[in-house]
Amino acid sequence: MKATEIIRIVIFGFLGFIFMFFVQPWMYENRIIPIKDVPVGEWLSDSYTTGAGVVFAVSILATVVWYVLAANAKVTTAAETDRWRVIWWVLLLLPIISICLGISPVFNSSKDALVSLTGFYILDAIVILYWLPTGTSSPSLLMYIPPGARLLRGIFGG
């Protein structure tokens, strides 16, 4: 496992954390995205934080699981390596399920926030916390398995 790979995962994790627990709540609090059906402060401290925490944790878990599995993968041919695409897409289900939970009435009591929250969670969970880290930091022979990995590595290095 390369140090640079781990560092990139940590950086994207940190970025996701900042977005989810500082930037997005700030946008709701300052009415950049207005919510009228529930008190914003209450909603943020009760529903949103818990839901965002679940989405964050599950997405990070999916990324870590992918990295650990990929680092220990026994692949000697391109055909064997190619089969790992299926595993990547299967693991993507975890963030997707967490998003569904996060926007459900269990963790979201505001219908006004539904669309924006869905959009934020997709950006956070799928893009920042799963796709970017796996696309830029998958170990050696699986480095190009996540979709668009070659483009991402061209942009972010690695």
Binding site for other proteins (CB under 8 A): 74-79, 81-82, 140-141, 143-145, 149-151, 154
Which residue in this structure is represented by tokens 């500082």? 22
Least Cβ distance, residue 95 to other proteins (angstroms): 22
Least Cβ distance, residue 142 to other proteins (angstroms): 8
* Per-residue H/E/C for 80-113: HHHCHHHHHHHHHHHHHHHHHHHHCCCCCCCCCC
- CA–CA gap between residue 33 and residue 50 (Å, rounded): 19
Check: CB of residue 110 under 8 Å from CB of residue 43: yes
104 vs 140 by CB, closer to other proteins: 140
**What's the CA dihedral at 94, 75, 150, 85 to 10 degrees?**
-30
Least Cβ distance, residue 76 to other proteins (angstroms): 5
117 vs 145 by CB, closer to other proteins: 145
100 vs 151 by CB, closer to other proteins: 151
147's torsion region: left (phi>0), alpha (psi -120 to 50) or beta?
beta
Q: Backbone phi, then psi, for 146, in 5-degree steps?
A: -60, 140
* Secondary structure (3-state) at 110: coil
52 vs 132 by CB, closer to other proteins: 132
94 vs 149 by CB, closer to other proteins: 149
